[in-house]
A and B are shown apart, each in its own frame.
Chain A
Amino acid sequence: MSDLVGLSAAQAAAAVGAGEIDPVALFEAYRVRAAADQLNAFTWVAESAPPAVAGPLGGVPLAVKDLFCTEGVPSQSGSRILEGYRPPYTATVVERLAQAGAPLLAKTNQDEFAMGSSTENSAFGPVRNPWDPGRVPGGSSGGSAAAVAAGLAPWALGTDTGGSIRQPAALCGIVGLKPTYGAVSRYGMIAFASSLDQAGPLTRDVTDAALLYSQMVGERDPCDSTSLAFPGEIELPQRSDLRGLRLGVPAELSGEGIEPGVLEVFAAALELARSLGASVEPCALPHAPHALAAYYVLAPAEASSNLARFDGVRYGYRASGADDLLAMYTRTRHDGFGAEVKRRIMLGTYALSSGYYDAYYGRAQRVRTKIAEDFATAFERFDFIATPTAPGVAFELGSKTADPFAMYLNDFCTVPMSLAGIPAISIPCGLAPPPGGERPLPVGFQLAGPPFSENGLLAASFALERALGFDGSAVRG
């Protein structure tokens, strides 16, 4: 069994294709591991392997974040208000991956409605980091990241609104890709902030990310009016050097506010990129320090609108004992939503309310324009932008729950790319001790590029990954 789990997803898919391993045995090996999970990474685990579908993903089973609708399978977005909800249809991207040969293994735990950076905001309890169970896995796709890092799933699907794929990938020592906005259909994703939400892979290595992502993109989805046809195909990365690659490092996202241990490991990774032939120069993203403020207006504003649908009428939880319609709505939402979701609904409603719209929402939209312009200017001189993925390594459970903004600061390095709609990948680049701690924990290296530069990002990450030689096998058990 353990030798099956030792294979990367791409290796396993190849072995299935060559007739060397039985996909049902592979599914069963992971199913048993997922069912015995000690990290609270899952909200549902399959009871048996579904009928096999031959395809490029080789029958390698997939863990899927709870917020993707999966027909007949609980899809709750980490919320009490959707407890037990089994949708009547499946999200386009999950369907595409199933058709390409990646059967549904499990649904993964997450921050409620993807609002959080630690997976402590789940109605189903917090997820633990396999590197140190006293620490968070990051969030909001913390269940997906922990499951892949711990070898409880070969690969997983997450979503990223302001960093929810990249930051947990960084904190768990795995690879996470946030695609170009629109590249992956959002149909069937329970929405948080529609102009920012994107689905992407969380995987053990860059090759796995490329393989999974290659089957997520394609023709535009008629069910998602913001989806786009991907120009060309995603190729498996081969690159072994970085000759000629121009990397820009924004001082705004790689200095103040970042843990010294993280900066040290990041600097070493940049040095390695140089030794592989890349040029590494400072670049300016002058509006990036304002990205977090703009994001925490725009995302809650969109969320307050999207979450209006949870009213106790068509699905999910309804509070009992209300004698009129308005009381039923307000009580259902009071009982069904957790504290962080309520905060964001309030924040978003406030920012959109009469008298405040221009000061908050209108200004934030203009900051978003400036941030996108900053990136466009930077990409005239640089191929990619490099930053640490998160300002720190995994933190202790409960250490940031008392102060909402302290938690929001986790998204400092990832939110600018989200606002600009550009693709970004996080790869593990080393280990650093936490402040005041000893046991070293994973650090993520983020590369961001222009729209639809995923092939280039994956190729550069692949070359860097080989040179870094990061080994996460110790936590796969």
Chain B
Amino acid sequence: MIDRDEVRHVARLARLELSDEEVDRMAVELAAVLEHISTISELDLAGVAPTSHVVAVENALRADEPRPSLSRERALASAPAVAGDGFAVPSPQA
């Protein structure tokens, strides 16, 4: 139901590195879970509306008033790497 190439493709979408051994194991485990899940394909769901959320709340807005927010210092406090006033990351093109 799901082969190794598909596992690798999904892992790329999920930004998740997997070793070859993990790809093999994931293919087996996902196939087993998907087999159980595929029971919902037996149901007749024609004309049934999808539910994405059980609470019917629309336009839940708060008052648009200025208030103090997290200081730059505190926002950066937990970052693994900081450069100047921002988060430091490796170059996208390296």
Interface residues of chain A, those whose CB is within 8 Å of chain B, are 85-89, 181-182, 195, 220, 222, 225-226, 228, 287, 290, 292-294, 296-297, 304, 308, 311-318, 322-331, 333-334, 337, 342-343, 345-347, 349-350, 353, 359-360, 362-370, 372, 403-405, 408, 419-421
Scan residues 8-67 of chain B and give those whose CB is less than 8 A from a CB of chain A.
Answer: 9-11, 13-18, 22, 26, 29-30, 32-34, 36-41, 43, 45, 48-55, 57, 60, 62-63
| Contact for A314 among B37, B79, B92, CB less than 8 A | B79
Please state if A313 and B87 are interface contacts (CB–CB under 8 Å): yes
Q: Considering the chains assembled together, what is the distance between the CA atoms of A297 and B32 in angstroms?
A: 13
Extra pairs beyond A290-B39, A366-B51 (8, CB < 8 Å): A88-B75, A181-B55, A195-B53, A228-B55, A315-B78, A326-B92, A349-B13, A362-B50
Distance (Å) between the CB of A91 and the closest chain B CB? 15
Interface-central residue, B2, B26, B37, B87, by most chain A CB under 10 Å? B37
Contacts of B14 in A (CB 8 A): 304, 333, 345-346, 349
The 10 closest A-B pairs by CB, nearest first: A421-B54, A365-B50, A318-B80, A334-B17, A315-B78, A225-B60, A330-B17, A324-B94, A222-B62, A366-B45
- Report the separation of the CA atoms of residues A182 and B57 in the bound assembly, to the nearest whole angstrom: 10
Indicate if the CB atoms of A86 and B78 lie closer than 8 Å.
yes
- How many residue pairs link A and B with beta carbons under 8 A? The number is 170
A312 touching B80, Cβ below 8 Å? yes
Show 21 residue pairs from A and B whose CB-CB distance is below 8 angstroms, ordered by the A residue: A195-B52, A195-B53, A220-B60, A225-B57, A316-B80, A323-B94, A324-B91, A324-B94, A325-B92, A333-B15, A333-B16, A346-B11, A346-B30, A350-B2, A350-B6, A353-B13, A365-B51, A367-B43, A369-B50, A369-B51, A408-B36
Q: Does B90 contact A (CB under 8 A)?
A: yes
**Contact for B37 among A293, A313, A331, A334, CB less than 8 A:** A293
Q: A368 contacts which chain B residues (CB < 8 A)?
A: 50-51
Give the interface of B toward A (CB within 8 A). Answer: 2, 6-7, 9-11, 13-18, 22, 26, 29-30, 32-34, 36-41, 43, 45, 48-55, 57, 60, 62-63, 70, 74-75, 77-81, 87, 89-94
Shortest C-beta distance, B58 to chain A (Å), equals 10
Q: How far is the CA of A331 from the CA of B80 in the complex (A)?
A: 14
CA distance A102 to B15 in the complex (A): 40
- A350 — which chain B residues lie within 8 A by C-beta? 2, 6, 10, 30, 34
Chain A residues in 8 Å Cβ range of B51: 365-366, 368-369, 372
Query: Which of chain B's residues has its CB closest to A367's CB?
Result: B40
Q: What separation, in Å, do the CA atoms of A226 and B62 have in the docked complex?
A: 12
Complex alpha-carbon distance, A225 and B59, angstroms? 8
Closest to B70 in A: A88
A359 and B34 alpha carbons, distance in the complex (Å): 11
Judge whether B54 and A343 touch: CB under 8 Å.
Answer: no
Rounded to whole Å, the gap between the CB of A363 and the closest CB of chain B is 5
CA distance A290 to B36 in the complex (A): 10
Please state if B40 and A182 are interface contacts (CB–CB under 8 Å). Answer: no
Residue of B nearest to A294 (CB): B40
Does B16 contact A346, Cβ atoms closer than 8 Å? yes
With known contacts A324-B90, A347-B33, A366-B50, A311–B74 Cβ distance under 8 A: no
Q: Chain B residues near A314: list those with CB within 8 A.
A: 75, 78-79, 87
Return chain B residues, CB-CB under 8 Å to A322.
90
Q: Establish whether residues B79 and A313, one from each chain, have CB atoms under 8 Å apart when the complex forms.
A: yes
Q: Is the CB of B39 within 8 A of A318?
A: no
- Complex-state Cα separation, A341 to B39, whole angstroms: 23
In the assembled complex, the CB of A13 is this many whole angstroms from the nearest CB of chain B, namely 31
Give Cα A330–Cα B10 distance, bound, in whole angstroms: 12
Taking a contact as CB atoms under 8 Å apart, the answer to whether B40 and A293 are in contact is: yes
Contacts of B78 in A (CB 8 A): 85-88, 314-316
Contact assessment for A325 and B10 in the assembled complex, using a CB-CB cutoff below 8 Å: no
Is B54 within 8 A of A345, CB to CB?
Answer: no
Contacting pair A325 B40 (CB below 8 A): no
Q: Which residues of B contact A318 (CB under 8 A)?
A: 80-81
CB pair B91 A226 closer than 8 Å: no
Report the bound CA distance from A345 to B17 in whole Å.
Answer: 12
